[in-house]
């Protein structure tokens, strides 16, 4: 189930909604992403997973977006987690202690 | 053995017991004190303390020393304690004094007891301020009488 | 726990905790007794005590202590919030737990070995027995509690050990990070370059849902440890200073807990009970600041109760004061050096301000240590007076007021002599013998009243006696006899001035030289000493009633605001207390305002003559002038003015411009500083004026004795050593004679008076008229009764005399040409004017004796002319002068009428 635009891949697998943005979560992308994610999670019933394997950078807006998504999931009583965070992203999430709110998994090195 | 800091004023080599020398610095920005005695060369700021500089040459009855590249100031330890008594230097800070000299020589070791009386061909002023002479490897060292140098008048 | 610092912190914590436990025991008993009625104050006190133990335990990682106190806190919180009822059983558990806590504290290092599982289980059972909602909340707290200590206790300790400050910094994701061009990672890296980030979190509760979150500017809160001060930390983090809050160490544990709770909330699904409990960082932080203060209350009081003093060597203080002075200078230098960068380095202003304030406070603090009560001087006087009154057979009482007023030690010391002198004078001269006092109907016992008080940043010391007062006339007579003032000067003196003659050098009032005072050194020494201290002295007296000597002194000598002036390339400081005003005389006014009187330069300033000295001349500094052509400074080779008394100084004669070149340059603007020395003022001409600076006075070496022109030296902000000018010394070095000038002033005032009178005599209000064409005359306005216009046909001829009817009577007419050598009026005139003179002493309604015929009235005006005698003088002609470019004859109508025989019975 791919979206028309190439901002993000959306998959429903293993009983989870996997949102996989194609690039960075930065000011220039977040607004489009938000629209797409909003649409994607609107009727979601399953846990939501944000896959960040393609994301190298995250800026203030990106973090806000992640938190907003988490919050929305929380409101819908859906579990939320992040996967595939690069070491840099991991560092940011950890420094901000975001891993205390939702599980964050580091990208597995190949 | 005593150690002497040596320095030149004109042709002569003078010596001061190194224990009486606080430090030796290059000459910079001497503020003159108008209407003071001729041998008062002026004041300097030594790391926030004001040091009164004597022109040794004038003190010994000669012409004022021109400041040259080689000129130095010999800062004396324990300054003029006589100053405390006349009431001008209150507050108990040290009254620091420095001597303007032409050039700095080596530190010379010599036996103080071997000092001889100053030669007879001295001016009155010189006689008052010199305490003796010492023959050293560096030459004839004229010893200064610091007490007298720093006494008023 | 190996380091000594740790040990001492921990032992503090243990002592503190024991105190807490000791204080809450009675409170717990009260809770049990009073049950629900117990005041919330009591519960809160208990709660805070346990809370603070828990915080410390967590901080130092005493696991057992932490867990037990945490559980106790949970129970107490429920009680506080009214969710748990106090029961005997509950209190049993609480007391049992309390005993365990005590046991743990008894040997803190072995605290984990104290069994507490039973108490903990009981406490948790109580908590769990409270229903699901509450249980979940507490679970949340439990979880939070674990998170709480994710914060690496070791790193906090290590930060504290390294003297770091703890801050809570708030950074907004947009404003402070994105808008600064930073990514969150870059921001954190930047933060980590200036300190240690102990904890960071985003307040998740504040986040809106996905739809609205991007419009939010979420705050990131950092617990941050750095060696930097708050302002610098703000700078390092590139955050506004108000977003940085300093955390007390005590506050930290609570802060951490608060955040942990906040962080814990999401884990608990919708828990309304917890909501009010879940404070944003802000309010909690405020509470945190208050709590320790309350807790510390009794302990601090105990510390303060021993208001101890410490003996410190004076030279140590002096040294500290000098260093503080240096710091002030260093600060000034720093400020000067980096002022230009204020724009470039954000936050620099705040840092400078902080350095500034701390420096000032430190300096003030050190100053304080040197302050001594004036009582140390006052206290010696009762004894002196007792001895003196016995010697003099007088009864004198000493009253002291304001002995606690503090002054710098050096001033106090230097006041001993002047004050002793004044007191001795009081006893010796002022206070009468008991017999004399009785005769004057006074209390036979006299009183000397010493009073010190603050006023306007200065210290006032008044010495009042109720003795005979100073007889101004006697003082004056003495002064004249001693040649201190001339008779002429004496004549012009006010009573006050006469009394102040006691301060004149060489003045002594003693009729005979007494054993005690009056040896010729007198009040002038007092004055000199007081002025040396930068103070002033005044006398007030009332004959028969008493005398008050008033001293006004600065609080401290060490730092004085001074005006920096320049002469040639020299700089000098003039203490501001001596500066009355600054006068700028424009080049064009120099010749009018500056002149020579008896060989001395004076400035005319508001009708006073102000003696002037050129600073360069007094100090023997070669003046430089700026070459008018090149602007280069060159030595001015003219002799100094001071050596040229008696000759008109060229600067003033500059008008002569003999060689028109650089001499004209001496007629530049003059900067004159008016100084006060006692009651005399004089002006000092300087080349340049700079700022007013706070200078630290450094004594001049005792070795320098040749000059009295300086009171010390100082080091300016740029490191330069400059001399501090002494107003009095400068005046005497310049040989200023103020008394000569007073005489000159008086002479001038008289001259001025005479001149004014003369001028007044020249001034005339006249009526200007014409008789024959082109011939002009005036009569004084006050000699004219009326001016009338008449037509020729009204003139009647009786004999050879002309008349006119005027108010029903015949008025004789006078033609000027009949009596003076002037031309007649034109014969064909149809109209005339008539000047009807006013006869002095006659009322305006009386019949005038005659009228003077003229052809036309030109003007009524004031003229200031000097009349010249007229060759063809005739009767009634005062003289001639040029008025409005015409030669005009001035007529005295009364004498003219007299000469014409027209005064009749009037004369």
List of domains in chain B: 2-149 (2.40.50.180)
Shortest distance, CA A14 to any CA of chain C (angstroms): 24
Shortest distance, CA B8 to any CA of chain C (angstroms): 23
Question: What pLDDT, on the 0 to 100 scale, is given for residue C245?
Answer: 77
Q: Find out whether C633 and C624 touch, Cβ atoms under 8 Å.
A: yes
Shared domain check, C580 and C692: yes
Phi first, then psi: give them for residue C700, nearest 5 degrees. -80, 145
Q: Find out whether B3 and B107 touch, Cβ atoms under 8 Å.
A: yes
Hey, are the CB atoms on B34 and C621 less than 8 Å from each other? Answer: yes
Shortest distance, CA B4 to any CA of chain C (angstroms): 25
Shared domain check, C575 and C707: yes
Question: What pLDDT, on the 0 to 100 scale, is given for residue B99?
Answer: 92
C379 Cβ contact list (under 8 Å, min separation 6)? C400, C403
pLDDT in tens, B82-133: 333 333 443 334 578 899 999 998 888 888 788 888 777 766 667 788 888 8
Q: Find out whether C873 and C896 touch, Cβ atoms under 8 Å.
A: no
Closest CA to C531 of C694, C726, C733, C736: C726
Question: What pLDDT, on the 0 to 100 scale, is given for residue C828?
Answer: 81
CB-based contact (8 Å) between A45 and chain C? no
Query: Buried (b) or exposed (e) across B93-129, using 16+ Cβ within 10 A?
Result: bbbbbbbbbbebbeebebeeeebeebeeeeeeebebb
Chains with ≥3 Cβ pairs under 8 A against A? C
Least confident residue range of B15-29, B48-62, C500-514, C524-538: C500-514
Q: Which residues of C touch A68 (CB under 8 A)?
A: 207-214
Q: Find out whether C584 and C592 touch, Cβ atoms under 8 Å.
A: no
Question: What pLDDT, on the 0 to 100 scale, is given for residue C557?
Answer: 64
Confidence of residue B80 (pLDDT cuts 50, 70, 90): very low
The whole-number mean pLDDT for each consecutive block of 10 residues of chain A, a chain of 110 residues, reads 58 83 84 84 85 86 87 86 87 82 76
| B22 torsion bin: left (phi>0), alpha (psi -120 to 50), beta (else) | alpha
Mutate to test the interface with C, among B88, B100, B147, B148 (most CBs of C within 10 A): B88
Q: How many CB pairs under 8 A join A and C?
A: 99
Closest CA to B79 of B25, B147, B130, B127: B147
Give the per-residue SS3 of C90-143.
HHHHHHHHHHHHHHHHHCHHHHHHCCCHHHHHHHHHHHHCCCHHHHHHHHHHHH
Segments forming the whole domain that contains residue C225: 153-300
Shared domain check, C853 and C770: yes
What is the reported pTM? Answer: 0.42
The torsion defined by the Cα of C302, C307, C313 and C319, in degrees rounded to 10, comes to 80
Shared domain check, C594 and C681: yes
Q: Which residues of B touch C414 (CB under 8 A)?
A: 90
Q: Which residues of C touch B31 (CB under 8 A)?
A: 570, 713, 720-723
Q: Please count the structural domains in chain C.
A: 6
Quick check: is C755 in a domain?
no
Shared domain check, C377 and C366: no
The torsion defined by the Cα of C370, C373, C379 and C380, in degrees rounded to 10, comes to 30
Shortest distance, CA C623 to any CA of chain B (angstroms): 13
Q: Which residue of B has its CA nearest to C557?
A: B91
Q: How far apart are CA B54 and CA A101, in angstroms?
A: 77
Q: How many CB pairs under 8 A join B and C?
A: 112
Give the per-residue SS3 of C416-484.
HHHHHHHHHHHHHHHCCCHHHHHHCCCCCEEEEEEEEEEECCEEEEEEEECCCCCCHHHHHHHHHHCCC
> Which CATH architecture fits A16-40+48-106?
2-Layer Sandwich (3.30)
Question: What pLDDT, on the 0 to 100 scale, is given for residue C571?
Answer: 92
Q: Which residues of C touch A37 (CB under 8 A)?
A: 210
Which of C318, C721, C733 is closest, CB to CB, to B50? C721
Shortest distance, CA B133 to any CA of chain C (angstroms): 26
Which of C329, C703, C710 is closest, CB to CB, to B52? C703
Question: What pLDDT, on the 0 to 100 scale, is given for residue C625?
Answer: 57
Shared domain check, C390 and C340: no
Which of C178, C184, C208 is closest, CB to CB, to A68? C208
Question: What pLDDT, on the 0 to 100 scale, is given for residue C280?
Answer: 39
Chains with ≥3 Cβ pairs under 8 A against C? A, B
Question: Which residue numbers in chain C have pLDDT < 50?
Answer: 1-5, 130-150, 263-306, 512-521, 637-666, 906-907
pLDDT in tens, C535-550: 778 888 888 888 999 8
CB-based contact (8 Å) between A78 and chain C? no
Q: How far apart are CA C371 and CA C672, in angstroms?
A: 36
Please return the burial class of C472, using the count of CB atoms within 10 Å of its CB with bins 0-12, 13-18 and 19+. buried
| B10 torsion bin: left (phi>0), alpha (psi -120 to 50), beta (else) | left
pLDDT in tens, B122-149: 666 677 888 888 888 778 888 888 888 8
Q: Which residues of A touch C173 (CB under 8 A)?
A: 60-61, 63-64
Which of C329, C621, C702 is closest, CB to CB, to B89? C702
CB-based contact (8 Å) between A87 and chain C? no
Residue C321 sits in a domain whose CATH number is: 1.10.287
Closest CA to C815 of C751, C891, C722, C713: C891
Chains with ≥3 Cβ pairs under 8 A against B? C
Strands C776-780 and A16-21: unpaired
Phi first, then psi: give them for residue C104, nearest 5 degrees. -65, -40
CB-based contact (8 Å) between A96 and chain C? yes
Shared domain check, C532 and C417: yes
Shared domain check, C339 and C401: no
Q: Find out whether C81 and C48 touch, Cβ atoms under 8 Å.
A: no
CB-based contact (8 Å) between A91 and chain C? yes
Question: What pLDDT, on the 0 to 100 scale, is given for residue C722?
Answer: 92
Quick check: is C502 in a domain?
no
Q: How far apart are CA B13 and CA B6, in angstroms?
A: 7
Paired with C225 in beta bridges are: C166, C196
Within 13 Å and on the Cβ side, how many CA atoms surround C693? Answer: 25
Question: What pLDDT, on the 0 to 100 scale, is given for residue C363?
Answer: 77
Q: Find out whether C264 and C141 touch, Cβ atoms under 8 Å.
A: yes
pLDDT in tens, C269-326: 333 333 333 433 443 333 333 333 333 334 443 444 445 667 777 778 778 877 877 7
Q: Which residues of A touch C150 (CB under 8 A)?
A: 100
Shortest distance, CA B135 to any CA of chain C (angstroms): 32
Whether B43 shows a pLDDT value over 90: the answer reads: yes
Mutate to test the interface with B, among C573, C702, C715 (most CBs of B within 10 A): C702
Which of C183, C199, C204 is closest, CB to CB, to A57? C183
Quick check: is C746 in a domain?
no
Shared domain check, C524 and C625: no
pLDDT in tens, C39-65: 777 888 888 888 888 878 877 788 888
């Amino acid at each position: 189930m791919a979206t028309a635009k190439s901002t993000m891949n959306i998959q429903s697998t293993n009983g989870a909604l996997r949102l996989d943005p194609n690039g960075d979560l930065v000011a220039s992308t977040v607004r489009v992403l938000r629209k797409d994610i909003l649409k994607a999670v609107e009727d979601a019933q399953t846990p939501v997973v944000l896959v960040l394997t393609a994301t190298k950078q995250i800026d203030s807006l990106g973090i806000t977006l992640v938190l907003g998504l988490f919050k929305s999931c929380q409101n819908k009583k859906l579990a939320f987690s992040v996967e595939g965070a690069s070491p840099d992203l991991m560092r940011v999430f950890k420094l901000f202690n975001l891993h205390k709110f939702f599980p964050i998994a580091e990208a597995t090195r190949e | 053995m005593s150690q002497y800091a040596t320095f030149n004023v004109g042709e002569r080599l003078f010596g001061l017991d190194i224990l009486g020398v606080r430090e030796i610095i290059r000459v910079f920005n001497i503020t003159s004190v108008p209407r003071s005695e001729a041998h008062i060369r002026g004041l300097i700021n030594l790391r926030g303390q004001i040091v009164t500089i004597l022109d040794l040459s004038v003190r010994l009855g000669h012409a004022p020393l021109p400041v040259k590249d080689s000129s130095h100031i010999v800062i004396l330890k324990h300054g003029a304690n006589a100053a405390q008594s006349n009431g001008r230097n209150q507050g108990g800070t040290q009254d620091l004094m420095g001597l303007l000299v032409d050039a700095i020589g080596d530190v010379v070791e010599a036996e103080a007891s071997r000092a001889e009386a100053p030669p007879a061909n001295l001016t009155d002023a010189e006689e008052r301020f010199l305490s003796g002479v010492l023959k050293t490897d560096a030459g004839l060292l004229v010893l200064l009488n610091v007490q007298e140098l720093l006494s008023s008048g | 726990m190996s380091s000594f610092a740790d040990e001492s912190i921990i032992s503090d914590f243990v002592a503190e905790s024991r105190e807490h436990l000791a204080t809450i025991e009675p409170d717990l008993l009260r809770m049990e007794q009073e049950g629900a009625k117990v005041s919330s104050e009591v519960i809160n006190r208990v709660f805070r005590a346990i809370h603070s133990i828990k915080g410390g335990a967590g901080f130092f990682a005493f696991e057992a202590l932490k867990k037990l106190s945490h559980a106790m806190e949970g129970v107490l919180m429920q009680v506080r919030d009214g969710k748990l009822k106090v029961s005997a059983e509950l209190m049993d558990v609480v007391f049992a737990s309390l005993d365990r806590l005590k046991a743990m504290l008894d040997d803190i290092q072995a605290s984990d070995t104290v069994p507490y599982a039973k108490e903990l289980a009981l406490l948790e059972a109580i908590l769990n027995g409270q229903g699901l909602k509450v249980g979940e909340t507490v679970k949340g707290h439990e979880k939070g509690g674990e998170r709480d200590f994710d914060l690496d206790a070791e790193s906090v300790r290590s930060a504290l050990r390294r003297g770091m400050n703890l801050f809570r910094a708030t950074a907004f994701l947009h404003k402070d990070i994105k808008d600064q061009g930073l990514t969150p990672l870059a921001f954190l890296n930047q933060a980590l370059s200036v300190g240690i980030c102990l904890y960071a979190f985003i307040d998740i509760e504040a986040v809106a849902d996905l739809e609205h979150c991007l419009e939010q500017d979420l705050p990131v809160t950092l617990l941050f440890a750095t060696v930097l001060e708050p302002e610098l930390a703000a700078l390092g983090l590139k955050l506004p200073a108000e977003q940085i809050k300093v955390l007390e160490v005590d506050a930290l544990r609570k802060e951490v807990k608060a955040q942990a709770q906040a962080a814990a909330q999401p884990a608990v699904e919708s828990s309304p009970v917890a909501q009010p409990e879940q404070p944003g960082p802000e309010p909690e932080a405020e509470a945190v600041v208050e709590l320790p203060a309350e807790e510390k209350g009794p302990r601090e009081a105990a510390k303060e109760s021993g208001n101890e003093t410490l003996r410190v060597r004076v030279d140590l203080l002096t040294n500290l004061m000098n260093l503080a002075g240096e710091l002030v200078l260093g600060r000034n230098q720093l400020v000067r050096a980096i002022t230009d960068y204020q724009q470039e380095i954000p936050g620099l202003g705040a840092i400078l301000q902080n350095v500034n304030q701390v420096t000032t406070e430190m300096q003030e603090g050190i100053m304080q240590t040197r302050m001594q009560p004036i009582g140390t001087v006052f206290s010696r006087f009762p004894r002196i007076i007792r001895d003196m009154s016995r010697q003099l057979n007088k009864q004198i009482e000493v009253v002291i007021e304001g002995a606690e007023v503090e002054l710098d030690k050096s001033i106090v010391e230097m006041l001993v002599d002047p004050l002793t002198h004044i007191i001795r004078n009081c006893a010796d001269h002022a206070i009468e013998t008991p017999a004399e006092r009785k005769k004057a109907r006074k209390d036979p016992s006299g009183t000397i009243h010493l009073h010190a008080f603050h006023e306007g940043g200065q210290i006032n010391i008044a010495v009042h006696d109720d003795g005979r007062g100073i007889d101004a006339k006697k003082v004056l007579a003495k002064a004249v006899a001693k040649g201190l003032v001339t008779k002429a000067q004496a004549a012009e003196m006010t009573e006050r001035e006469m009394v102040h003659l006691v301060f004149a050098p060489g003045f002594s009032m003693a009729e005979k030289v007494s054993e005690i005072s009056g040896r010729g050194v007198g009040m002038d020494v007092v004055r000199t000493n007081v002025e040396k201290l930068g103070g002033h002295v005044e006398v007030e007296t009332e004959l028969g009633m008493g005398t008050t000597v008033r001293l006004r002194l600065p609080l401290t000598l060490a730092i004085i605001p001074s005006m920096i002036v320049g002469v040639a390339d020299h700089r000098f400081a003039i203490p501001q207390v001596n500066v009355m005003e600054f006068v700028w005389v424009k080049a064009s006014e120099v010749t009018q305002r500056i002149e020579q009187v008896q060989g001395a330069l004076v400035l005319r300033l508001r009708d006073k003559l102000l003696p002037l000295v050129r600073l360069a001349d007094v100090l023997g500094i070669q003046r430089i002038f700026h070459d008018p052509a090149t602007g280069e400074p060159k030595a001015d080779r003219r002799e100094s003015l001071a050596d040229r008394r008696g000759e008109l100084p060229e600067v003033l004669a500059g008008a002569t411009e003999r060689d028109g070149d650089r001499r004209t340059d001496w007629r530049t603007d003059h900067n004159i500083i008016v100084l006060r020395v006692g009651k005399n003022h004089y002006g000092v001409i300087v080349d340049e004026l700079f700022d007013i600076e706070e200078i630290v006075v450094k004594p001049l070496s005792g070795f320098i004795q040749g000059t009295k022109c300086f009171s010390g030296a100082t080091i300016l902000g740029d490191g330069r050593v400059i001399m501090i000018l002494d107003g009095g010394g400068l005046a005497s070095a310049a040989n200023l004679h103020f008394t000569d000038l007073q005489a000159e002033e008086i002479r001038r005032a008289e001259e001025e008076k005479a001149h004014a009178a003369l001028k007044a005599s020249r001034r005339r209000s006249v009526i200007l008229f014409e008789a024959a064409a082109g011939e002009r005359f005036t009569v004084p306005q006050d000699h004219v009764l009326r001016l009338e216009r008449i037509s020729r046909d009204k003139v009647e001829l009786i004999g050879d005399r002309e008349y006119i009817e005027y108010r029903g009577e015949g008025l004789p007419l006078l033609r000027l040409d009949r009596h003076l050598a002037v031309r007649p009026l034109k014969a064909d005139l149809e109209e005339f004017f008539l000047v009807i003179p006013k006869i002095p002493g006659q009322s305006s309604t009386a019949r005038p004796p005659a009228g003077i015929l003229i052809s036309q009235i030109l003007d009524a005006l004031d003229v200031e002319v000097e009349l010249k005698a007229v060759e063809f003088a005739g009767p009634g002609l005062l003289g001639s002068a040029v008025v409005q470019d015409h030669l005009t004859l001035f007529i005295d109508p009364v004498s003219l009428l007299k000469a014409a025989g027209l005064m009749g019975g009037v004369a």
